[in-house]
């Protein structure tokens, strides 16, 4: 658990981050979203003290982060950035081994960890490990950047617009991979983005920032249905908010008992996808199938529409 208490950063007369307090649950993904200049990156960088707060404090599992030297603190926190910042003079394997080496891990343990991470990130350990970053594609570089951030098994991972430089297709894949990896390692993630769709897709909680203040910090659905500020409404967009709301829930969560339908959808599909499928096929309802092929119940068009209604 991370507690941010009245955290403030002031440059001259300008308060870039203004008394922000929030708590972040362990094992969750929190997305900080805002326009440029909102202070979201500064807030993130104060967590690992790349920026020293003017006042306020950050507690990780009850320990004040100011109580240890900044560079030692950072070795325990993963950090991934947009332009990935890979070391161009080191191989992919050496890049990933950076923090374990700083921590003085044994060679065999480092090698095993590097290989494990390359596999998890779908990079061939033999072919890829000895390559230099400039020999990789943009998507691969980005994955190596995240793998490097996770190398020393940090409980907390900070990400500053990690997918900003990727094209839409690769970005979508990278977001799915991140969700998988988060589930696999149970890492607490704090991610900064300016893209509200990305925030809704990844965040268990979303914090909307403007002019150094957090306007609202809540579950994505609440941001849509009960926005605390007109700016939150503006940022999330009003034209497709019903569909956005549907995209936050999976078919499995909404399924209810009922007769078997000829149309079937996967339990993991979002309601937005189910709605699209029903419109496309002209069906009134579909049966929801678990991954093992058993029925989880059914969802009807009427129930879908009711779920997308502002409540």
Partner 1 sequence: MPRAATLLRIAAIGLLVGFLAAPQRFAPLFAPLTQYGAPPIYDQGNLLSLALAHLGTVFIAAAASTLVAVGLAILVTRASGAQFLSLSRTLANIGQTFPPVAVLAVAVPLVGFGQTPTLIALFAYGLLPIFENTVAGFQGCPPAVIEAANGMGMSARQRLLAVELPLAMPLILEGVRLSLVINVGTATIGSTVAAKGLGEVIIAGLLSNNTAFVLQGGLLTGLMAILLYDAMVMLERRLLRTVPA
Report the C-alpha dihedral over residues 283, 288, 291, 296, rounded to 10 degrees: -160
DSSP code of 270? B
Residues that bind partner 1 (CB under 8 A): 48, 50, 71-76, 79, 81-89, 98-99, 102, 132, 134, 145, 148
Name the residue nearer to partner 1 (CB basis): 139 or 227. 139
Residue whose CB is less far from partner 1, 154 or 252: 154
Which is nearer to partner 1, 9 or 205 (by Cβ)? 9
List Cβ neighbours of 58 (8 Å cut-off, separation of 6 or more): 2, 3, 4, 5, 7, 46, 47, 64, 65, 66
How many angstroms separate the CA atoms of 69 and 139, rounded? 34
Which residues are paired to 250 by β-bridges? 270
CB of 243 to partner 1, least distance (A): 36
At a CB cut-off of 8 Å and minimum separation 6, what does 294 contact?
Answer: none
Which residue number, 32 or 215, has a Cβ lying nearer to partner 1?
A: 32
133: DSSP letter: G
Q: Minimum Å distance from CB 132 to partner 1?
A: 6
| Residue nearer to partner 1 on the CB measure, 131 or 213 | 131
CB 103, min distance to partner 1, A: 8
Pick between residue 40 and residue 74 the one whose CB is nearest to partner 1: 74
Write down the least CB distance from residue 79 to partner 1, Å: 4
For 27, the 3-state DSSP assignment is coil
Strand-by-strand arrangement of the 285-289 sheet: 264-266, 285-289, 295-300
Closest approach of Cβ 173 to partner 1, in Å? 22
Torsion region of 84: left, alpha or beta (phi above 0 gives left; psi -120 to 50 gives alpha) = left
CB of 84 to partner 1, least distance (A): 7
Nearer to partner 1, 12 or 88 (CB): 88
Nearby residues of 87 by Cβ (< 8 Å), 6 or more positions away: 94, 95, 98, 133
CB 298, CB 255: distance < 8 Å? yes
For 24, the enclosing helix (H) or strand (E) is strand 14-24
Query: How far apart are CB 43 and partner 1 at their closest, in Å?
Result: 15
What is the smallest separation between the CB atom of 156 and partner 1, expressed in angstroms?
13
The nearer residue to partner 1, 50 or 243, going by C-beta atoms, is 50
Helices assigned H by DSSP within 205-296: 220-225, 230-236, 241-247, 251-254, 271-281
């Amino acid at each position: 658990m991370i507690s941010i208490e009245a955290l403030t950063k002031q440059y001259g007369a300008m308060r870039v981050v203004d008394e922000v307090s929030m708590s972040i649950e362990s094992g969750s993904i929190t997305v900080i979203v805002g326009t440029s200049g909102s202070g979201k990156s500064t807030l993130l960088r104060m967590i690992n003290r790349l920026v020293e707060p003017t006042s306020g404090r950050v507690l990780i599992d009850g320990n004040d982060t100011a109580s240890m030297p900044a560079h030692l603190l950072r070795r325990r926190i993963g950090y991934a950035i947009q332009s990935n910042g890979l070391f161009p003079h080191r191989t992919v394997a050496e890049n990933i081994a950076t923090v374990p080496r700083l921590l003085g891990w044994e060679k065999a343990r480092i090698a095993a960890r590097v290989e494990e991470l390359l596999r998890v990130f779908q990079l061939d350990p033999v072919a890829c490990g000895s390559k230099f970053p400039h020999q990789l594609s943009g998507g691969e570089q980005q994955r190596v950047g995240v793998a490097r951030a996770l190398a020393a098994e940090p409980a907390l991972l900070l990400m500053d617009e990690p997918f900003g430089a990727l094209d839409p297709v690769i970005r979508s894949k990278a977001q799915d991979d991140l969700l998988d990896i988060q589930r696999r390692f149970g890492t607490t993630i704090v991610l900064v983005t300016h893209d509200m769709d990305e925030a809704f897709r990844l965040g268990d909680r979303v914090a909307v920032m403007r002019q150094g203040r957090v306007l609202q910090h809540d579950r994505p659905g609440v941001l849509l249905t009960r926005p605390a500020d007109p700016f939150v409404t503006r940022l999330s967009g009003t034209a497709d908010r019903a569909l956005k709301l549907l995209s936050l829930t999976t078919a499995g969560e909404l399924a209810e008992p009922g007769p078997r339908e000829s149309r079937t959808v996967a339990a993991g599909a979002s309601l937005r996808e189910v709605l699209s499928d029903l419109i496309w096929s002209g069906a009134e309802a579909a049966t929801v199938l678990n991954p093992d092929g058993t029925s989880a119940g059914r969802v009807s068009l009427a129930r879908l529409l009711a779920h997308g209604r502002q409540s």
